[in-house]
Structure 1
């Protein structure tokens, strides 16, 4: 009996909009000539959100885990390249990402083409074509900047994007999903994200997990601010994206203005920029001029010269904001002399007309983020037609049940598809905002201790293993459970004679955690105690007494406890249950 679960790096980074300068205007539809005054605009949502999140210790730790992984991977790529004495790495494999486009349009524009909030399919396909050309350095996007240094030339990233043809259940899809919503079409990213993405996820029947599909939400307006005098609402935003480390979160993807997507090559540079963030790139001016280690300083890419500001000059004009290009004396740094800022880079802020470059170092970082963090996108059935079955996180043969029982017990249940078992037992916790799909041939049981974080979603269905994931049960299954959305800490019903159960959240404990324990019937609690690793009782968490059956709660305060590992011990009559808990500072 084997416990299997997806274990992938997680973190949240909400990233930014493209360099856009004037006030927004509604552009001319695809296929017509834009007016010369029809400029594109928007402000960046990256800095304030990213800085706010970095003040959260858990987020900062998770983000750094991904950065360490990317650092090691990119450094190894550079080492291999140096050994082969090649100045540029040939793309060995084209990596393809399935994309789902969500169009949230105004009620006054119900049909595609009625207005800017509801673009036609042709415009959406044009935006996808522009994205592919930029990442493959082809077509009208094949160019380089004014600097002729070999290291700053534009390269073929070797990443392509397809419009999804198949959902996670193997059912066909157009990949373009439309919703009428006046509220979310004019999105306030500070107040309605991730609510908007959770809503579209439910509208779609949770058929497109963010782990397996890149999501794009097209809206007519992107605002920020809570509306107070100190935080007024500002709607001059072009888009934003979420960083790879939180790829399992339901809101992870790209949000863009619908009237920029595909209306012109210039307009599409908005979402080209955002997909750079989605695949792990910072702005080229991130962190300013320090360059002691080009893989750690600035934008963490060695072949984008140090840069401390945006560039507003004419295309081709020299501009240099830093003189630290040669400070890193390691072999990773391609610059021995000072270089102009690479304002033609898609990740800088300049006139969209100038933008034309992803460097080899950026390509290495994006491909590493895709293969090391967002790797489930590469096993997704999304780009395949004709009802291809969903990916199997267990790595086993989807043609038949390879496990009698799949146990998701006493652990964090990560987003993903769990299948190829006759029976699934779940008593773990679905991560906040996570998406979980369970498929079993005989039964799915939710035991005491099963819980879900706020905004989480879960689908459970009974089907033959040999059928793949081509259907989902909308009613109740044989065990009495139905597909459902779980919010906050909603628990599934417990079996009639459920065992004693004990859970602690959050764990590790920084300040305080809640200890929840399940009693199958009235029982006398002998003790609920916190023990150290030597078995010494550090404190009592509850007093003995008579309790009714069901879930009970007690608080665990970390005040006065040294950092380290402890055990919470629950003794109920003759039964003993314990859980590890970590106190951190």
Structure 2
């Protein structure tokens, strides 16, 4: 099945998506005292129970990322923007000495296939074809018990030592991230200040066939690459404007879990919750689409920060 094609987009910022976070709608709760330090955006297996460091951006952090994006895209306004021909992917497999986490080549190739199907709109008739594609350029393998089981503690060192390529090279790291954390990613805006840290981290058992219950079809990779390309969670800012800064993803008060049907957590806003969107927290089997607005946003972020 194919989706709506995005062959090119002319840069123009929506007038209703200002860089500052607007006031919450009546009866809705907003926040105003968050720090603006950048942090990775994560995907967790249980949004109600799992606690991660920097897993979700505060409204101010998201606003600051969007301000940087609007500033960077301004010189390209009026130009037609195309997605890249293909994004090179370097996968860094970190495993334990007893073989845990030593992801076989076949599962890595399947993960790349999942990314290509997802980003070309192949999982749902209504899904957008973002125009993005990915090709595997190299796989590195590191056997280190400490790095494998305590990746987050050593992540700065690991990424600085292993990362390859430039801003347009997707570096993916696989390791044991613990029971609640599925993966996390940097944003394109982070690259200039810390290029050696740029990339996506995913739990080794979330790759296709990895055995992580509910999360082993490869869509943790799909989700985290979405962040790497500039997308926020669909539930960013809850029911308050500007939501996730994408016009065609309905507002959502909080992350979805499992695959709820007919969920409408922002009844004063149009549309049911986007539980099938790849930028939600739904189970892998529930996720099947990006929207045309998300496709436009990642193409613009690529032009602004990664091309």
TM-score (norm 2): 0.75
Counterparts in 2 of 1:64-143, with a 5 A limit?
A: 65-69=67-71, 95-109=85-99, 115=100, 117-138=101-122, 141=123, 143=124
What do you get for the CA RMSD once the two structures are aligned?
A: 3.3
Equivalent position to 1:341, from 263, 266, 273: 273
The aligned counterpart of 1:298 is 243
CA distance in 2, matches of 1:358, 1:239: 19
Q: Which has the higher contact order (CA 8 A, sep 6+)?
A: 2
Residues 373 and 137 of structure 1, relative CA distance in 2, 3 Å threshold: same
> CA distance change for structure 1 residues 46 and 155 in 2, over 3 Å: closer, same or farther?
farther
Q: Equivalent residues in 2 for 1:144-159 (5 A)?
A: 153-159=126-132
Identify which of 189, 198, 202 aligns with 1:252.
198
Q: Per the alignment, do residues 51 and 155 of structure 1 end up closer, same or farther by CA in structure 2, a change over 3 Å counting?
A: closer
Distance, in Å, in 2 between the alignment partners of 1:358 and 1:20 is 20
- Is 1:179 the counterpart of 2:139 in the alignment? no
C-alpha separation in 1, matches of 2:140 and 2:170 = 13
Aligned counterpart, 1:318: 262
Contact map agreement 1:16 1:44 (CA 8 A) in 2: no
Partner of residue 230, structure 2: 280
Do structure 1's residue 268 and structure 2's residue 218 form an aligned pair?
Answer: yes
Q: Which has the higher strand share?
A: 1
Would the alpha carbon gap of residues 75 and 273 (structure 1) be closer, same or farther in structure 2, given more than 3 Å must change?
farther
Verify: 1:17 aligned to 2:38, yes or no. Answer: no
| TM-fit CA distance, 1:360 | 0.4
Counterparts of 1:309 and 1:268, CA distance in 2: 23
* Inter-CA distance 132–259: structure 2 relative to 1 (3 Å threshold): same
Q: Structure 2: which 5+ residue stretches go unaligned? A: 1-35
Paired residue for 2:158?
196
Does 1:222 pair with 2:177?
yes
- 2:283 equivalent among 339, 342, 351: 351
For residue 68 of structure 1, report the CA deviation from its aligned partner: 1.8
1:313 Cα shift?
6.3
Indicate the residue corresponding to 1:509 in structure 2: none
Give the Å deviation of 1:368.
0.8
SS in structure 2 of the partner of residue 373 of structure 1: helix
Question: How many residues are paired up?
Answer: 265
C-alpha separation in 2, matches of 1:93 and 1:47: 27
Q: TM-score, normalised by structure 1?
A: 0.41
The offset of 1:13, in angstroms, is 4.0
In structure 2, C-alpha distance between the alignment counterparts of 1:262 and 1:374, rounded to whole Å: 27
SS of equivalent residue, structure 2 residue 42: coil
State the Cα distance separating 1:64 from its structure 2 match. 5.1
Bigger proportion of residues as helix:
2
Q: If you compute each CA radius of gyration, which structure gives the higher value, 1 or 2?
A: 1
